[in-house]
Amino acid sequence: VQLQASGGGLVQPGRSLKLSCAASGASLRGYSVGWFRQAPGKERERVSCIRASNSMTYSADSVKGRFTISRDVAKNTVYLQMNSLKPEDTAVYYCATSRSVYACSGSQTDFLSWGQGTQVTVSS
């Protein structure tokens, strides 16, 4: 599966952005899909994830209540709606897929296909 992440940009604190992860080559319905981010000088972290089998979602504590992951099967796209953005959300955001239904609670190495990343900058 090939992934194309988009939707990043420069936004003021408190505003919203919606990231898209469009897939080709396979249906995302059979994949767990995660959104990850990496800020300069920091390790990559998992932000949100949607499970393959039942679409259960998971979010990091740092984004709970602010970020929402969703899947549009018809468009073969997974979204990350980001509200109430903070400067510490600034990072390159990546989407990735895994065939494992346990990937959302497992290792990042479970995710084998990665998109190219989209920059999100939160600054006044």
pLDDT in tens, 3-27: 999 999 999 999 999 999 999 999 9
Determine the pLDDT at residue 52.
Answer: 85
Kindly state the average pLDDT of the residues 19-43.
95
Identify the band that residue 54 occupies on the pLDDT scale cut at 50, 70 and 90.
confident
- Least reliable range by pLDDT among 20-24, 30-34, 52-56, 110-114: 52-56
Kindly state the average pLDDT of the residues 93-121.
93
C-alpha to C-alpha distances, 72 to 67, 84, 105, 110, nearest whole angstrom: 16, 23, 22, 22
Could you say which DSSP state residue 106 is in? S
> For all residues of the chain together, what is the average pLDDT?
95
Determine the pLDDT at residue 80.
Answer: 98
Task: List Cβ neighbours of 2 (8 Å cut-off, separation of 6 or more).
Answer: 23, 24, 25, 113
pLDDT tens digits along 71-102: 999 999 999 999 999 999 999 999 999 998 88
